[in-house]
Amino acid sequence: MGLPDGHVTAVPGLSRAAQLHALGNGVVPQQAEHALRLLLDRATLAAPSPRPCPAATPRSRARAARNSHRENAR
């Protein structure tokens, strides 16, 4: 399962049935890592690309300057 040797079997007094019960339906760590990487890759691909801040473009800065002059003139 990718766990260190003796992870369950080296526990003193644990019967074979108890060892299997302790492991349960555990996911193999390598499978879990692979699944998480796939999900993160999909999430990254599906995420919208960041848009530039409107105030950062020259046109929007000019518009903001015009609007502030109009507001100050009132």
Per-10-residue mean pLDDT, the chain, length 74 = 77 87 76 87 74 63 72 62
pLDDT of the residue at 53: 61
Query: Which residues 6+ apart lie within 8 Å of 8 measured at CB?
Result: 14, 19, 22, 23
- Report the alpha-carbon distance of residue 52 to residue 46 in Å, rounded: 18
Q: What is the pLDDT, as a whole number, of residue 10?
A: 85
- pLDDT score, position 50: 65
Ordered by start, the domain boundaries in the chain are 10-35
Locate tokens 């100050």: which residue? 72
Task: Supply the pLDDT for residue 1.
Answer: 63
Give the model's pLDDT for residue 21.
84
Question: Within 13 Å, how many C-alpha atoms sit on residue 4's CB side?
Answer: 4
Nearest Cα residue to 22 out of 34, 12, 40, 7: 7
The predicted pLDDT at position 27 comes to: 66
